[in-house]
Amino acid sequence: MNSSVFQLNKKTLSKMFKLINEIDGTYIPFIILMAVIKSLQLFMNIYFPLIVIDNLLYNDNNSKLVYLIVVFLVVNAILSVAINFFDSKLKVKSKDISLTINLKLGQRTMNMDYENIEDPEILDLKEKALFPIKNQNIIPRMIVEISNCITSIFSLVAIILMISGIHFGLVLVVITVVLINTMISKKSKKVEMETMNTVIPLNREFSYYMKVITDFTYAKDIRLYSIENIIIDKLKKYQRKSLQAFRKLLLKQGSYKGILGVNLQIQIFVVSFILIYLAYAKKISIGELVVMISATKNLSSTLQGMIASFLNIKIFNRYLEPYFEFYYLNSEKNFQKGIEINEIKTIEFRNITFYYPRSKEKTLDNVSLTLERGKSYSLVGLNGAGKTTLIKILCKLYKPTSGIILINGVDLQFIDYTSYMKQLSCVFQDFKLFSFSIKDNIILNSSYNYRKVKEVIANVGLSDKIRRLKKGLETNIYRIFDKDGIEFSGGEEQKLAIARALYRDSSVMIFDEPTSSLDPIMEYEIYKKLNSTLENNKDKKITIFISHRLSSCKLCDYIYVLDKGRIIQEGTFKELILDKNNMFYKMWEKQAQYYV
């Protein structure tokens, strides 16, 4: 690692100040005001002994001295109260800023383009962004160092002016030693940075295995296959590599600290020798001698502290570069404003081709199809055929590599994102429930309608189950926050996810393998019930089913068969089942035993 590590990236620092100011516009002014007060108090505490000693030695008017002491004590007390007041305010503000910055990162993560979530480079960048935040508490430390640095600058100005008025040579001695120590500190920080760059790549692996051993969803597999030793061995491997890196760091830093200590002792000796000589030669008074000893000591510690804070700011600044790179990713590009829509009548995929990030193989290859309101469709095909990818593009989770989607004849990229998303109700195979109440898992961000919630629960066959619960709809899902929470079976969770989609009641209803945890007969019953439920206002909806199992196809008006990213067949169930030489019939024949 070269010295560029320690060059201050002004853009990153500027972004940091901008972010702090956005969160709390009074924070920086508060820091500056407290820095002024602290430097004023420091100046008084250093300079006051000179007045006292010289008055005792050279002035017989003790009443003036008493007056000066009283004034000093009163002013010092006022300054101390002010410092404590601003300090408490700044601690609260710092905490708020730190938490808000973490929250903003979370918001950015939730709103970033979905395609980035599956990009390994973006995942590595996310880990680099989160590591210093989570593991090194960088944000509050950065805020503290900025505050310390500003305070030190004001204090240094006051001390240097004081010492220069008596003997400027002492300032040069102190600055020389501090600069030498700064060079040594830079080497120490360089070693620390190299160590962190070694540890950060390991952290992604460590975080994954820590998640595995603390996530109860892995509990059955860990116990059934007795793999706890494998996971522990992998964690121990990380631990050994990390300890080895930190051992080298601490040994080097220990030697650097020893050199710093020797240099400080040399400084104390040289400064003391000069001051004693000046006092002996009667070039300075006894009061000035006492003040200079205190002032040079404060000059050294303040200058050392300021440089240390500045070096830390540069290091933290470097750590925060991935944070801001991740924070300012080209996210939310699909959250555009545009033409607002209140319903979807037609969807046309026109020549859609798609590559996943970093992939050279097409997932979708020139796909064109049309979906119309009042009809239900089934997308079928083997694993990897591109069915789910097509739906994810429709849901704006991905942007097609080429081709366009027309909604009501309008290019999707010109349609308002928010109004468009309200027209989609989706149940994906990898859906997630949240540790909210059953009610909140169904309505999510929609307004609450008790009658409608009861209706959709009945439609998916969960009424009896929920009726038997002590808290009913208010029962919390999972026991993460509530010991009385409920753990649904996989099939019950899928039914709840379907109820969520039904409750939203959008123009387009999408069911992507929504019943994979159910047996084929139960799956058919659910689809039959779904079809019956949707039939009441079918003329207002486009319904799309995706499934490996073909039980839903008989209930759909039209079927598209995909293979290797292309549509190879399309038609009604009766039309496709008659073509015995093509994929649909062969898939149906293999599964027919479940539907006879």
**Tokens standing for 332?**
């939310």
The pLDDT tens digits for 371-419 are 999 898 999 988 888 898 999 999 888 889 999 999 999 999 899 988 8
Higher-scoring residue by pLDDT: 108, 93? 93
Q: What is the pLDDT of residue 199?
A: 67
Contacts 24+ apart (CB under 8 A), 466-475: 466/438, 469/438, 471/437, 472/438, 473/437, 473/438, 473/439, 474/437, 474/438, 474/439, 475/437, 475/438
pLDDT in tens, 179-229: 777 777 777 777 776 776 666 666 666 777 777 777 666 766 776 667 778
The pLDDT value given to residue 5: 39
Q: What is the pLDDT of residue 2?
A: 43
Buried b (16+ CB within 10 A) or exposed e, 231-265: beeebeebeeebeebeeebeebbeebeeebeebbe
**Mean per-residue pLDDT, 219-245:** 75
Indicate the helix (H) or strand (E) that contains 567: strand 566-571
Distance separating alpha carbons of residues 230 and 236, to the nearest angstrom: 10
Q: Which H or E run contains 116? A: helix 114-117
Residues 40-89 have pLDDT tens digits of 888 788 777 777 777 777 666 667 778 888 888 898 899 899 989 988 88
pLDDT tens for each residue of 154-181: 877 777 777 776 677 777 777 777 677 7
pTM (2 d.p.) = 0.64
Interval 20-36: pLDDT, tens: 888 888 888 888 888 88
Is residue 127 within 8 A of residue 203, CB to CB? The reply is yes
Q: Which amino acid is residue 341, in one-letter code?
A: I
Q: Does domain 346-431+506-593 have CATH number 3.40.50.300?
A: yes
CA distance between the termini of the chain = 69
What's the 3-state SS for 53-76?
Answer: HHHHHHCCCHHHHHHHHHHHHHHH
- What was the pLDDT predicted at 71? 86
Percent with pLDDT over 90 in the chain: 13
Ordered by start, the domain boundaries in the chain are 10-328, 346-431+506-593, 434-487
- What pLDDT is attached to residue 559? 92
Residue 270 clears pLDDT 80, i.e. is over it: no
pLDDT score, position 351:
95
- Confidence at residue 76, expressed as pLDDT on a 0 to 100 scale: 87
Mean pLDDT, residues 500-505: 86
Six-digit token pair at 344? 């979807």
Asked if the model's pLDDT at residue 521 lies above 70, the reply is: no
pLDDT higher than threshold 90 for residue 346: yes
Q: What pLDDT score does 6 carry?
A: 41
Residue 436, SS3?
coil
Q: What would the pLDDT profile of 101-112 be if each residue is shown by its tens digit?
A: 878 877 777 777
What's the mean pLDDT in 325-347?
77
CA pair distance 413, 416, nearest whole angstrom: 8
Residues 6 or more apart whose Cβ sits within 8 Å of residue 95: 140
H/E stretch holding 510 reads: strand 508-512
pLDDT at site 568: 93
Q: What is the dihedral of CA 57, 63, 68, 73, to 10 degrees?
A: 110
The topology (CATH level 3) of 10-328 is ABC transporter transmembrane region fold (1.20.1560)
Q: Would you tell me the crossing angle of helices 27-58 and 10-23 to the nearest 10 degrees?
A: 100
Report the chain's mean pLDDT, rounded to a whole number: 80
| Percent of all residues in the chain with a pLDDT value above 70, rounded to a whole number | 85
| Strands, E assignment, 259-396 | 346-355, 362-372, 375-380
